[in-house]
Amino acid sequence: MLRTRSSAKCRQQEPGVSGSNHFDSIAEVFNKVWHFSDEYKDFVISHIHTDLDLQPSDILADIGGGTGTFTGRLAREAKLSRAYCVEPSPAMCSEASKIADIVPICADAHRFSTMEHPYSKLLLKEVIHHIDKRERFWERTFQRLPDGGKLLIITRPRKIDFPFFETLKAAFSANQPDHTLFESELRSACFQVCTQERTHTFTLPKENWFEMLRHRFMSDIAPFSDEQIEEGIAEIDRRYPGNTIEIADRLIFITATK
Ligand SMILES: C[S@@+](CC[C@H](N)C(=O)[O-])C[C@H]1O[C@@H](n2cnc3c(N)ncnc32)[C@H](O)[C@@H]1O
């Protein structure tokens, strides 16, 4: 059973903070169940550096920054002037508050966009599908960014290559808007948009992958019961013989520049 914890250490807790976010329930184990390997993190981090053209003078806001793992590395490695981890789940935010060099803010994307904190670069990694009424968010972000300021969305295609069971693939696809929707929203908000697809392929012991599924490492898995997940794992086990499993993580990087 996973435990949740309080948000006592969070810098701010405002309206726009999650009450029942799935990520509250996996905050403590999030870093263990999500981040596949150091190689995977290096791959993503290096592209964020380049796509956002991070400079020491930059102030970064990592929207839906979770436990702040990526925010912290970017802050240190790019020697950023400041880095906010903006996270509505109190439990995730509490984990982020343990990381040096970052400023955790317990708020969702909309709430943050009404705050006064200045920023020059914005990261939205694996969070965009959780943000509703995005037109208003893009409009405010465009106003707040300086000329030349950038935002980067990292998301996945609707048809995912992960070794999921069939009902989970369907659930993922139903929850995931097509990335071209984000591109057109950004163009309508006057951003210049550039999209790249990049794939990171790696091999995991099958048991590790099954543990990630049991921990409901993605919010799309949350509605499935323990029994459904075990049936799904048996389906995957039949489809992929052997003790290891190859995982191709196809990621879409959308850079928008003011
Ligand atoms: C899959 S996690 C990604 C965390 C982090 N970006 C990373 O890649 O490690 C998605 C995060 O987005 C947060 N989130 C959900 N809805 C949000 C919203 N409306 N605004 C900002 N963050 C949100 C969740 O609480 C969760 O921590």
125 CB near ligand 1 (under 6 Å): yes
Q: Are 24 and 96 in contact (CB under 8 A)?
A: no
**pLDDT (tens digit per residue) in 94-115:** 999 999 999 999 999 999 999 9
Predicted pLDDT of residue 17:
52
Q: How far apart are CA 221 and CA 208, in angstroms?
A: 16
Q: Per-residue pLDDT averaged across 125-129, rounded?
A: 95
Q: How far apart are CA 148 and CA 160, in angstroms?
A: 33
Residue whose CA lies nearest to ligand 1 atom number 13: 64
Q: How far apart are CA 253 and CA 67, in angstroms?
A: 21
Q: What is the mean pLDDT of the chain?
A: 89
Q: Per-residue pLDDT averaged across 32-48, rounded?
A: 82
163 CB near ligand 1 (under 6 Å): no
**pLDDT (tens digit per residue) in 44-67:** 999 999 999 999 999 999 999 999
Q: How far apart are CA 65 and CA 86, in angstroms?
A: 6
Residue 206 phi, psi (nearest 5): -55, -40
Ligand 1 atom at minimum distance from 218 CA: 1
Sorted by sequence, the CB contacts under 8 Å of residue 57 that are 6+ apart come out as 81, 120
Q: Per-residue pLDDT averaged across 30-39, rounded?
A: 67
Predicted pLDDT of residue 28:
65
Q: Per-residue pLDDT averaged across 9-24, rounded?
A: 52
Sequence length of the chain is 258
The rounded Å distance from CA 92 to ligand 1 centre is 9
153 CB near ligand 1 (under 6 Å): no
63 CB near ligand 1 (under 6 Å): yes
Annotate 134-169 with b (16+ C-beta within 10 A) or e (fewer).
beebbebbbebbeeebbbbbbbbeeebebbbbeebb
Predicted pLDDT of residue 35:
54
**pLDDT (tens digit per residue) in 62-88:** 999 999 999 999 999 999 999 999 999
30 CB near ligand 1 (under 6 Å): no
Residue 46: both structure tokens together = 């290096």
Q: How far apart are CA 197 and CA 183, in angstroms?
A: 13
Residue whose CA lies nearest to ligand 1 atom number 1: 126
Residue whose CA lies nearest to ligand 1 atom number 25: 89
Predicted pLDDT of residue 2:
28
Predicted pLDDT of residue 64:
97
The rounded Å distance from CA 87 to ligand 1 centre is 6
- Residue whose token pair is 């979770």: 66
Ligand 1 atom at minimum distance from 21 CA: 25
21 CB near ligand 1 (under 6 Å): yes
Predicted pLDDT of residue 14:
45
Domains of the chain: 22-200+250-257 (3.40.50.150)
Q: How far apart are CA 240 and CA 206, in angstroms?
A: 9
Q: How far apart are CA 168 and CA 187, in angstroms?
A: 32
Predicted pLDDT of residue 27:
64
Q: Per-residue pLDDT averaged across 117-121, rounded?
A: 97
Does position 15 have pLDDT exceeding 50, yes or no?
no
Helix (H) or strand (E) run with residue 51 in it: helix 38-52
Does position 38 have pLDDT exceeding 90, yes or no?
no
Confidence at 9, pLDDT banded by 50, 70, 90: very low
Residue whose CA lies nearest to ligand 1 atom number 19: 131
